[in-house]
Structure 1
Amino acid sequence: MRNLPVLFACAAFIASPVFAWDAFGHRAITRVGIERFKEKVADSDAAWIAETDWSIRIADLATMPDRWRNIKNPFLAHINNPDHYLDVEDLTDLGLTLQTIEPLRHEFAVQLRLAREAHPGAGRQPNPRFDAAKTDAYPGFLPQAICENYAKLQSNFKTLRTLEKINDPARHNEIEAVRMAIAVSMGALSHFVGDCAQPLHTTRHHHGWVGDNPNAYTTKKEIHAQIDADTLTKHKLNEASIRAELKASPPKINTPDPVNPWPAVILQIERSHAQVEPLYKLEQNGDLWRAPGAEFITDRLADGASFLAELYVAAWQSAAPSDDDVAIFIKYDGFVAPSPITEPATR
C-alpha cells in the first residue's frame, strides 16, 4: 500500500499507447470477419450476429481495447497495454522463440523472469521513471490475449446455445444479456487479431528501426501512424477493398484447433512478423504510397479478417452443448421468471 501514491504520481509517465490500425481499420476487419463467419455458419441461432445493428455494435466494440488507454491508470495499463503486441526480437535476446514460449499468461511471465536471470542484461531494460505500469520488462502478451478472448467467446457462445436449447420464452432477457456479452467478446477478439495482422505489432521496430541498421531503414516514429491510418486514407482502403482482396487472393490461413487455437495463433504472428522488413523496404523506396503499398496493406487487413472469421467459426462450432451441459446449466442457474414491475399506488 505504501507504494500506491508513488505509483499514481508516476502515472503521468506511462508510455504513449501503441495503436494498430485506427478505429476505421479495426471496424473494417470486424465487419468483413463477421460476413465470412455468416458464409461458413448456416446455424439460424447465429444469424443475428450478421444483422446490421449487431455487426455495427460488434465492430465498434472492436475499438474498445484502444479506448481503454484514454486514461493514464497504471492498473489498467499494466494488464492492457502489453496485450496489443509481441516483440519477437526480444524473445531471441532471452533465448526464447515463438515455438518455446508458454501459452498461459502467468506461466509465460515466470518463463520470462527465469530467462532474464539466465541472460543478465538481455532484452529491454526498463526505466522505472517512465514505466509506472511496469510493462517494459515484457515483450508483450498478444498471443495470450487472442487465445484468452477466444475462450471467452467460446464460453459465451455455449451459454447462448444452451439457452436456445432450453427454449423458454421467460428467459428472453438472459438471451439478450448473453448476446451483449458475445458482442463484447467478438469485438475484443477482433481487436487483438487485427493487431496481430499489423507487422509493427510483432517487432521491437514498432516506431522506427532501432539498434543495428545496416540497411538504413527509417528511424522515424511516424511510420507506425502511417501504417495504422495514413495508408488507409491515401489508398482509400475500406471494407470493399478487403472483400475484393479475399475474393481475388484468399490468404492461406491455418485453421485453428477449436480446443487449442495457440498453434494457429503463433503461425499468424510468424506470418505477420515476416512482413516487418518488407514493410520497411516499401517505406524506404516510397512504394508504401504507391500501388505496392496499397497491395501490402490490403493483404494485411484481409489476412486479419480471414483469420478472425476462422476463430469465430471454431468458437461457434465447438460450443454446442450436450444434454448434460443443459441439465447442469438449469441446475445451477437458479433462474426464476422475473415478476412484472408494478407502479406504487398513488393517493
Structure 2
Amino acid sequence: MRPALLTTIAALVVSWIPSSAQAWGGAAHAVIDRAAIDAIPNDGPVFLRRHVDYIAASASLPDAWRGSSENFSKIEEDPNHGWFREQFTFLKPIPRSRYEFVIAVFKQHEKIERTDPATAARTNVRWTGTLPYAAIEAYERIIVCMRDVRAAQAVGRDAAFAEQHCAFDVIRLGHYIGDGAQPLHDSVNSDGWRGANPNGYTTDKSIHGRFESRFVDGMKLTASDIAPRIGMPGHRKGDMFDGILAFLNDSGDKMERVYKLEKRDGFSNFADGDVRALVYDQTAAGAAMLRDMLCRAWSESATAPAETRPSPIDFENPRFNTETGSAPD
C-alpha cells in the first residue's frame, strides 16, 4: 500500500472518530506524533518518516475504540488512557504485570468494600487506569516489528509491510504517551475536582475538554511550535517500564497547575501565556518521550531476542503467580 493511499485512509478514519472522544484533542495528539518522528536522528528508525502523515492523521484512533456502542472494546480500552495515581497509593511497588496490578486493586476493593463503600466504588481498574501497561506493551510490539524491518533491509527484501505494522503500533504508543503527557490523565481529578476542595477548584467535568481540546485548537498548536522544546535524543537508558512510570509521575505532578490556570478565566483567553506554556511543555515532553522510546526500540531491535527461561507462563518459573497464570516481567 502506497503512502498516498495510507494518508487517504487515515483521513477517512479520523473523519468518523467522535469529536467528544478525542483525548488531548485530535490536534495535540497529531502534533506530538509528528514532532516526535521529525525529531528522530539519522541513526534512529528513520523509515517512520515515510509514514508520518498516516501516523499523525490517525493519532486519535485509539479513542475510537472507546465508543459506547462497542462495549467489549470500550471496557478493555478505557483504562488504557488514564493513570489515576491517587487511587492506588496503597500499592508499592507498582507490579510489573498488568494482571497482577488488576488483581491487587480488586483485593483492595474487597478489603474496604464494607468499611468505605464510596472509596471502594472507585477502587477498580476503570478508576485506576492501566496506561503504563498499554504503553510498555505497545513499545515491545514495536521492537518486534522493527526486527522485521531490519531483517528485510538486511537481505534487500521489500520492508513495506513490516514498516506499516510498525506505523500502526506507533499510533498506539503515541496515543498512550500523549495521554500520559496531559496532567489530567494522571489524576482522579481528570474531569473536575473530587473530594476536599479548599482552593475552590472547578468541579465542572468540561475542564478536561476545555483545556486539551478547546484551548489547544484555539491557540492553533503546531509541531513547529514544540520542535525547539523537545531537546536532544536521550535513548532512555535504564528500565523502560520504570521510565514510563517516572514520565507519568512528572506529568501528574502538574495536575493542580491546570486547575489553578482554569480558575483564572476558564481557558477562554487563547493568548494566555501561562496556559500556552503548559501546553507547549507537556506536548513537547510527550514528543520527546515518544521519540526516545522509538529510538530505544530501534536499538533493541538490533539484538536477537533472548528468550526468558523458564518462560513467564511456565509453572517452573520461580516467580510464577497462579492468580495470573504468569510470572511478572
| TM-score, with structure 2 as normaliser | 0.79
CA RMSD of aligned residues (A): 2.7
Q: Which runs of 5 or more residues in structure 1 are unaligned?
A: 1-15, 128-133, 326-347
Give me the whole-angstrom Cα distance separating, in 2, the residues matched to 1:324 and 1:96: 31
Instruction: Name the CA shift for 1:198/1:256 in 2 (closer, same or farther; >3 Å).
Output: farther
- Shift, 1:163, TM fit: 2.2
2:197 matched to which residue of 1? 213
Shift of 1:181: 0.5
Quote the residue 1:73 is aligned against.
70
Aligned partners of 2:122 and 2:256: how far apart in 1?
26
> Aligned pair 1:56/2:53, yes or no?
yes
Deviation at 1:240, TM superposition (A): 1.5
User: Are the equivalent residues in 1 in contact too, given 2:47–2:163 (CA < 8 A)?
Assistant: no
Contact 2:184 2:255 (C-alpha < 8 Å) held by counterparts:
yes
| Aligned partner letter, 1:213 | N
Query: Counterpart of 1:118 in structure 2: which amino acid?
Result: K
Corresponding residue for residue 109 of structure 2: 116
Partner of 2:283: 301
Give yes or no for contact 1:245–1:299 (8 Å, CA) kept in 2.
yes
Q: Given that residues 256 and 310 in structure 1 are in contact (C-alpha distance below 8 angstroms), is that contact kept between their aligned partners in structure 2? A: no
Partner of 2:250: 271
Which digits, 9 at most, give the CA deviation of each residue in 1:277-336, with x for residues without a partner?
1111111123853111111111111010001101000000110145999xxxxxxxxxxx
Matched letter for residue 91 of structure 1 = F
**2:208 is matched with which residue?**
224
User: For residues 303 and 147 of structure 1, what CA distance do their matches in structure 2 show?
Assistant: 17
Q: Name the SS of the counterpart of 1:318 in structure 2.
A: helix
CA distance 1:256–1:199, shift in 2 (3 Å): farther
**Structure 1 residue 62 displacement after superposition:** 2.2
Q: Distance in 1 between matches of 2:305 and 2:136?
A: 27
Equivalent in the alignment of 1:5: none
Per-residue CA deviation, residues 157-215 of structure 1 (Å, 9 max, x unaligned), is: 01111222233x4xx3xx22211110101111000000000011011111110111011
1:47 is aligned to 2:58: no
In structure 2, the CA distance between the partners of 1:135 and 1:118, relative to structure 1 (3 Å rule), is closer
**Structure 1 residues 297, 79: closer, same or farther in 2, change over 3 A?**
same
Name the counterpart of 2:218: 234
Percent of residue pairs bearing the same amino acid type:
25
Match of 2:97 in 1: 104
2:81 matches 1:84: yes
Say if 1:256 and 1:311, in contact at 8 Å, map to a contact too: no
Residue identity matched to 1:47: V
Which residue does the alignment assign to 2:299?
A: 317
- After superposition, the Cα gap between the structure-2 partners of 1:225 and 1:118, relative to the gap in structure 1 and judged at 3 Å, is same
Distance 1:281 1:306 in 2: 26
One-letter amino acid of the structure 1 residue matched with residue 169 of structure 2: S
> What is the match of residue 29 of structure 1?
32
- Cα distance between partner residues in 2 of 1:72 and 1:223: 25
Instruction: Give unpaired runs (5+ residues) of structure 2.
Output: 1-18, 308-329
